[in-house]
C-alpha cells in the first residue's frame, strides 16, 4: 500500500488525483500499481503483482494512518510523504524538510543491518532520523535487538490503529537481562517542537537520561529529556521510580537464579500496577 506513484510521464501522482483502472508505477520497484479505495477503504495504490522485496508494496493500513497522522501534525507544506532521495536511493516515510528530520515508521520486523544502513544513509545527506515503532511489536517487556540497535537514535512508540486513532509517545524503561522495566506510563509527546540536545547537562545517577543526552541529537516536547530539562511536575515521580528500579536491579547478577527471576517478574508487575 502506498500514497504516491508515477504516471506515464514520470510525474508523481498522489492517490487522490489517481484514476481507477489506470496503470501507474511504483516509485520504488517501478512495477505497475493501480488506485483503489472509497468510503469504507482508505484510498491507496496496490501492486497488480505482489512484490515481497518492495518496501512500499508491503506497507500496512496502520502504517499509512501513522504517515498521515504525522503529516497533519507538522506545519502545512513542510512535511512530505514517501519522499524519494535519489542520491542515497531511499524513500522516507515522512520528511520534515525545514527541520531536516526523517520519520521512519516500523510496524513490522526489520533487521539491525537495515536500521544502521538507513540511519547512516540519511546522516550523509544531513538528516536526523526519528523512529516510530508500533506497540504491537515493540512496546513489550522483552528488549529486542531492534530496540537495542536504536538506542542511539531518537525512538518513540505509537498505538495508532486501523481506524487512525491513537497517539505517539515516549515509554522510558530500564533494561536487565534483556527485560524492560518501564518507569512510567506512556508519555504522549508533541512532535511539532523538536529541540537540539544540550551537551552540557548530565545526570550521573540516572543513566537512562545521561545516555540519551549524550547520544541523541534532538528531543521533543513532553518526552523524558524535556521533562528532565524543564523540571516538569511529574519529574520527581519518574526519577524516584528510576532510582527504585535501579536499586532493585543492582542486587541481581546476570546469572539470576530461578527464584530471583520470579521475584523480578513480580517486581515488574508491581511497577506496572503503580505506574
Does the predicted model carry a pTM greater than 0.85?
Answer: no
Is the pLDDT confidence value at 85 over 90?
yes
Side-chain-side CA neighbours of residue 249 (13 Å): 21
Q: What is the CATH number of domain 60-166?
A: 3.40.960
129-181 pLDDT per residue, tens: 999 999 999 999 999 999 999 999 999 999 999 888 999 999 999 998 888 99
Tens of pLDDT, residues 184-235: 999 999 999 999 998 776 666 688 898 999 899 999 999 999 999 999 999 9
Domain ranges of the chain: 1-55, 60-166
What was the pLDDT predicted at 191? Answer: 96
Amino acid at each position: 500500500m502506498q500514497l504516491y506513484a508515477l504516471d506515464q510521464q514520470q510525474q508523481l501522482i498522489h492517490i487522490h488525483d489517481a484514476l481507477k483502472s489506470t496503470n501507474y508505477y511504483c516509485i520504488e520497484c517501478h512495477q505497475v500499481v493501480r488506485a483503489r479505495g472509497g468510503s469504507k477503504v482508505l484510498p491507496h495504490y496496490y501492486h497488480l503483482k505482489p512484490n515481497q522485496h518492495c518496501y512500499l508494496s508491503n506497507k500496512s493500513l496502520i502504517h499509512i494512518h501513522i504517515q498521515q497522522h504525522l503529516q497533519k501534525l507538522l506545519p502545512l507544506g513542510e512535511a512530505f510523504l514517501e519522499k524519494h532521495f535519489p542520491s542515497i536511493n531511499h524513500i522516507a516515510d515522512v520528511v520534515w524538510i525545514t527541520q531536516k528530520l526523517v520519520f521512519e515508521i516500523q510496524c513490522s520486523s526489520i533487521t539491525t543491518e537495515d536500521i544502521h544502513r538507513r540511519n547512516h544513509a540519511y546522516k550523509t545527506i544531513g538528516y536526523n532520523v526519528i523512529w516510530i515503532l508500533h506497540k504491537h511489536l515493540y512496546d513489550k517487556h522483552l528488549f529486542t535487538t531492534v530496540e537495542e540497535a536504536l538506542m542511539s537514535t531518537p525512538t518513540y512508540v505509537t498505538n495508532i490503529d486501523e481506524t487512525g486513532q491513537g497517539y505517539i509517545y515516549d515509554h522510558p524503561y530500564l533494561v536487565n537481562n534483556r527485560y524492560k522495566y518501564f518507569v512510567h506510563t506512556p508519555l504522549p509527546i508533541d512532535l511539532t517542537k523538536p529541540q537540539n540536545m544540550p551537551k552540557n547537562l548530565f545526570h550521573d545517577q540516572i543513566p537512562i537520561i545521561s545516555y540519551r543526552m549524550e547520544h541523541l541529537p534532538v528531543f521533543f516536547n513532553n518526552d523524558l529529556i524535556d521533562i528532565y530539562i524543564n523540571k516538569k511536575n511529574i519529574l520527581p515521580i519518574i526519577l524516584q521510580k528510576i532510582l527504585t528500579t535501579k536499586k532493585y536491579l543492582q542486587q541481581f547478577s546476570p546469572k539470576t537464579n530461578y527464584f530471583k527471576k520470579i521475584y523480578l517478574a513480580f517486581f515488574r508487575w508491581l511497577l506496572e500496577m503503580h505506574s
